[in-house]
Amino acid sequence: QQQVKQSPQSLIVQKGGISIINCAYENTAFDYFPWYQQFPGKGPALLIAIRPDVSEKKEGRFTISFNKSAKQFSLHIMDSQPGDSATYFCAAAALIGPRQLTFGSGTQLTVLP
Amino acid sequence: NAGVTQTPKFRVLKTGQSMTLLCAQDMNHEYMYWYRQDPGMGLRLIHYSVGEGTTAKGEVPDGYNVSRLKKQNFLLGLESAAPSQTSVYFCASRYGTGGIYEQYFGPGTRLTVT
């Protein structure tokens, strides 16, 4: 049972455009929502994360929007650049117990020059 | 610091063969994880460890065993490899306390079972 659903599977954006990736979760015990970025041949690396006590978190060109009542969160990449081309994974974890991450299925982002 | 390293980077096995994947971290992290990554399925947790000498099952543990004899190492074993275990395997680690939840990933091991 997939507890974190991610869309779209792939996304093509022009340079300078806005990239938006969406995730929805089911488990109400989830209390930590990170986004990971993965380049080909590399392991995932943490990009940005949010706790549900805030509705938005911004770090540079990357913003997470969080809607607790809808159990949805999204990643916005402003002024998308070709160097942002990568696979993006949303994830969620409960902050009790071993806190293992449950990942979405991933979005392959291509930013055209 | 090397961070999280994985050995080997690539491996081809025949069905029924066994092998061990090694993960090592030099960040003194308490928690370590093994994931597999398959197209369209994200990363799925195989086994994890919350400290030296302890292991627990994740989402997809069947066909795998693990050991954490030393804090810095986490081994993943395949006793009798099957084609369904063809995948890219990632190890990750993180601190256990202090409110830091970021997992640090290794570069991955690409395993093909024929």
Of the partner residues A4, A43, A99, the one whose CB lies closest to the CB of residue B101: A99
Instruction: Determine how many CB atoms are found less than 10 A away from the CB of residue A21.
Output: 21
Q: What distance in Å separates the CA atoms of residue A74 and residue B45, rounded to the nearest whole number?
A: 23
Q: What distance in Å separates the CA atoms of residue A77 and residue A74, rounded to the nearest whole number?
A: 10
B42 touching chain A per CB within 8 A: yes
C-alpha atoms less than 13 angstroms from C-alpha of B28 in its C-beta half-sphere: 1
Q: Are A45 and B42 a contacting pair at CB < 8 A? A: no
Partners of A105 on chain B (C-beta within 8 Å) are 40-42
In this structure, the dihedral spanned by the alpha carbons of residues A92, A5, B59 and B5, taken in order and rounded to 10 degrees, is: -60
Chain B: nearest CA to A83, how far in angstroms? 19
Q: Which amino acid is at A78?
A: M
Q: B100 pLDDT exceeds 90?
A: no
> Which residue of B lies nearest to A89 if distances are taken between CA atoms?
B42
Cis bond before residue B8 (omega within 30° of 0)? yes
Q: Are B103 and A101 a contacting pair at CB < 8 A? A: yes
- pLDDT tens-digit profile of A80-104? 999 999 999 999 998 776 778 899 9
- pLDDT tens-digit profile of B6-21? 999 999 999 999 999 9
| Test the A interface: residue of B103, B104, B109 with most A CBs within 10 Å | B103
Q: Are A44 and B101 a contacting pair at CB < 8 A? A: no
- pLDDT string in tens for chain A (113-residue length): 558 999 999 999 999 999 999 999 999 889 899 999 999 999 999 999 998 889 999 999 999 999 999 999 999 999 999 999 999 999 999 877 677 889 999 999 999 99
**Residue A110: per-residue pLDDT:** 98
- pLDDT tens-digit profile of B39-96? 888 899 999 999 999 999 999 999 999 999 999 999 999 999 999 999 999 999 998 7
Q: Are A98 and B106 a contacting pair at CB < 8 A? A: no
B110 vs A1, which has greater pLDDT? B110
Q: What distance in Å separates the CA atoms of residue A76 and residue B80, rounded to the nearest whole number?
A: 43
Q: Which residue has the tokens 């543990």?
A: B61
Q: What distance in Å separates the CA atoms of residue B91 and residue B26, rounded to the nearest whole number?
A: 13
Q: B102 pLDDT exceeds 90?
A: no
Q: Are B101 and A34 a contacting pair at CB < 8 A? A: yes
**Residue B64: per-residue pLDDT:** 98
Q: Are B102 and A101 a contacting pair at CB < 8 A? A: no
Give burial (CB, 10 Å; 0-12/13-18/19+) of B6.
buried
Contact in structure between A103 and A89 (CB atoms under 8 Å):
yes
Report the Cα–Cα distance between both ends of chain B, in Å, rounded.
36
A42 touching chain B per CB within 8 A: yes
Please report, for chain A, how many H helices and E strands are present, in that order. Answer: 0, 11
For residue A53, give every residue at least 6 positions away whose Cβ sits within 8 Å of its Cβ, in sequence order, or none. none
A77 token code pair: 């990449």
